[in-house]
Chains A and B, each alone.
Chain A
Amino acid sequence: MSTAIKVEGLGKQYNLRAVGTGTLSHDLNRAWHKIRGKEDPYLKIGDTNYRNTKSGSDFVWALRDINFEVSPGEVLGIVGNNGAGKSTLLKILSQITSPTLGEITIHGRIAALLEVGTGFHPELTGRENIFLNGAILGMTKLEIKKKLDEIVDFSGVSRYLDTPVKRYSSGMLVRLGFAVAAHLEPEILIVDEVLAVGDIEFQQKCLGKMKDVSQHGRTILFVSHNMSAVKTLCSKSLLLKDGTLDSIGSTDEIVSRYLNLNSEITQSGIIPDNFIGGLGTGEGKFRMIQVIEGSKNVSQLYFRDSLKIRFRFQANEPLKDVIFAVHLYSADGIQLAYAESSKGYLALENLPEGEHSYEVEIDVIPMPGEFAIGMSAYHSNGINIDTIEKGYDFNVISTSRSNDQHYKWNTAHGYIFSNSKWIKL
């Protein structure tokens, strides 16, 4: 067989009113259409799932016209904003709810990990729950017995195996739940954001095990908001946007597209005409300040991307001895870095009247976080011409362009990251 999963024309419509189609008359109408062999009249209406708009219709397409194929042994990442339809897609694939339209063909057993520890009963012991959980996930008693030692080993709760699970800490529960699911041997494994729970050690174990499983030829569908995990595990990914399939391709492309989609609310960087700046002389004014990537302005940078700024300055009259300075601010207003144009970078002596544009690259690596760029222009004797304090906001994400350079930790340790050379003596 060439495909493990084939999804064709998948659609899922939800009715926002609680009961039936909302009223008995609607239900009857729908039944009347069905008897006559006609299409359900309420499937025609229905809006896309835009989170922000309040629509007129009571029907929403959580998923619409989804088509894709997964080959056996592939690890497919599924990314998208909240509300894009990821969980709905998984629910349909795991048969928790049925599709409204379309067809899915699956070759092989599917096990879905939508939440760790499903079916754990607090009164039963760890050992009993392993059997119960395994059986719920589709294993037979024999299979579970064979893998019991491995499961206990992986979960690290062997000491507490015969204690009722209601005494376990949340970390133990999560480890136990994942341990059982990880030792299933389905042909296809679906994992939904399981990494969001659990400490670093657990997350690394999870990722390691999933990598292991994929190397044994199993197909994995991995839903996550953790872009570095997706990049590590998945060779191919798909992006869901508002219920439709936005794009599918190599993970690198998809991840950057996802990040771009989210930063489409970029600022223009243009300084309005009537903007009253600082206490400068006003002989010249900044007209535009932007952070750029290549030639476009962006609001979001990958970790360790170089910090490049483009700005446009208008000299209202000929100016002598101008120095430009860039200020990097943290979100809480602390000035983190300063760079200026004098002494050989851009030897600016005189600026004729008119507009002048520049690009400057700053040799600073901001940590993941939110920042702002300010600019000032002044004469070499210190008199300020114009200052813009918060000209442009941008943020840095923890994912980097290359896989081994992500920022791994949950909190940023400070504002600035430094390159360093380490020598063991």
Chain B
Amino acid sequence: MPVGSKEWVLKIRPEKSLISLDFKALWRYRDLLSLFVKRDFVSLYKQTILGPIWVLLQPLLTTATFIIIFEKFAKISTNGLPGILFYMSGIVLWSYYSDCLSKTSETFTSNENIFGKVYFPRLIVPLSIVVSNLVRFGIQLLLLVFIWFYFDLKGVPLHFHSALFLFPVLVLLMGGHGLALGIIISSLTTKYRDLKFLVQFGIQLLMYASPVVYPLSSVPDKYKWIMLLNPMTSIIETFKYGFLGIGEYRPDFLWINFLSLILISFIGLVLFSKTEKNFMDTV
């Protein structure tokens, strides 16, 4: 009789239902999730000299570049905030979202080898990406906090707002959007590979449609709503408002953001579960 496991009955059929997400299976494979996260992190910095320091160097160097080009040359407003804080907040948040999006959008194509040999709930892979990116995000956030304290000690007027309590929600929204859109693209890319190219430069362009390099306040009112369609806009602005004291805090847009996340996630899960059944035949 089965050793230590309960009666386990599995039925395999051609899939008829819209979403077939086995949450029990996801929970059963939770150890795998943590091992994937560990694997991603370890393999990235093994045999490098600077190791995890690259996690900090990336935002620092980008911020420096932005300060020189956008603040000094182009003279774009930073809403009165010190350039470093203004740009780095945007960059750190944006990197998390764009990393989640670009890596999850390759789920099927870059894992066809392992997916073709063994079964485990495919959703574990994009989930592990979102989680392992959190680690980098956390480290970069720490850097940001240090810089904040530096400026605070120097007497620069920076206030917290209660909106900062929304921070976990913001992280959820960011990760959620990156994941949801990522799995949609991943599912579509198994059949139509062109999307891959779209994603690469699409993300770059999207950054300019977000308040990373400029504040939302500098956009004329009648065009603001276009920017606010981009989920990252409200997230970045809310964060800057809560953390630095200046930003456009629009709770109504956060709600829209949340609802759009639910919609996109639904579409994503439908596509993903349809794709995972048979993509090995067409990828």
Chain A residues close to B by CB (< 8 Å): 1, 14-15, 18-20, 91-110, 112, 114-115, 118-119, 121, 123-124, 128, 131-132, 135-138, 140-141, 164, 185, 187, 217
Tell whether, in the assembled complex, residue B43 and residue A106 are in contact, meaning their CB atoms are under 8 Å apart: no
| Stretch from B27-35, B176-184, B229-237 that touches the partner | B27-35
B2 sits at the interface (CB 8 A): yes
Tell whether, in the assembled complex, residue A97 and residue B118 are in contact, meaning their CB atoms are under 8 Å apart: no
Count residues on chain B whose CB falls below 8 Å from chain A CBs: 40
Tell whether, in the assembled complex, residue B13 and residue A115 are in contact, meaning their CB atoms are under 8 Å apart: no
- Residues of chain A within 8 A of B29, CB atoms compared: 135, 138
Chain B residues close to A by CB (< 8 Å): 1-5, 7-15, 28-29, 31-32, 35-36, 38-39, 42-43, 46-47, 114-120, 191-192, 277-278, 280-282
The complex places the Cα of A124 from the Cα of B40 at a distance, in Å, of 10
A192 to chain B, nearest CB (A): 10
Tell whether, in the assembled complex, residue B117 and residue A93 are in contact, meaning their CB atoms are under 8 Å apart: no
Instruction: List 18 A-B pairs, Cβ < 8 Å.
Output: A18-B282, A96-B117, A96-B118, A100-B14, A103-B11, A103-B12, A105-B10, A107-B8, A108-B5, A108-B8, A114-B117, A115-B117, A119-B114, A119-B117, A124-B42, A128-B42, A138-B120, A140-B28
- Residues of chain A within 8 A of B278, CB atoms compared: 97-98
Tell whether, in the assembled complex, residue B43 and residue A108 are in contact, meaning their CB atoms are under 8 Å apart: no
Given contacts A92-B12, A98-B14, A124-B42, 8 further A-B contacts (CB under 8 A): A96-B117, A96-B118, A104-B12, A105-B11, A107-B7, A115-B117, A136-B32, A136-B118
B270 to chain A, nearest CB (A): 14
Known: A121-B39, A140-B31. A187 touches B8 (CB 8 A): yes
Residue of A nearest to B119 (CB): A95
- Residues of chain B within 8 A of A101, CB atoms compared: 14
- Residues of chain A within 8 A of B116, CB atoms compared: 96
Tell whether, in the assembled complex, residue A119 and residue B118 are in contact, meaning their CB atoms are under 8 Å apart: yes
Tell whether, in the assembled complex, residue B117 and residue A118 are in contact, meaning their CB atoms are under 8 Å apart: yes
Residue of A nearest to B191 (CB): A19
Tell whether, in the assembled complex, residue A104 and residue B11 are in contact, meaning their CB atoms are under 8 Å apart: yes
Residue of A nearest to B36 (CB): A132
Tell whether, in the assembled complex, residue B11 and residue A136 are in contact, meaning their CB atoms are under 8 Å apart: no
Known: A14-B281, A107-B9. A94 touches B43 (CB 8 A): no
- Residues of chain A within 8 A of B46, CB atoms compared: 123, 164
- Residues of chain B within 8 A of A164, CB atoms compared: 46
B212 to chain A, nearest CB (A): 33
- Residues of chain B within 8 A of A140, CB atoms compared: 28, 31
- Residues of chain B within 8 A of A104, CB atoms compared: 11-13
- Residues of chain A within 8 A of B31, CB atoms compared: 135, 140-141
Known: A98-B15, A106-B10, A110-B10. A185 touches B3 (CB 8 A): yes
- Residues of chain B within 8 A of A141, CB atoms compared: 31
The complex places the Cα of A114 from the Cα of B119 at a distance, in Å, of 10
Residue of A nearest to B20 (CB): A98
- Residues of chain A within 8 A of B118, CB atoms compared: 94, 96, 112, 114, 118-119, 136-137
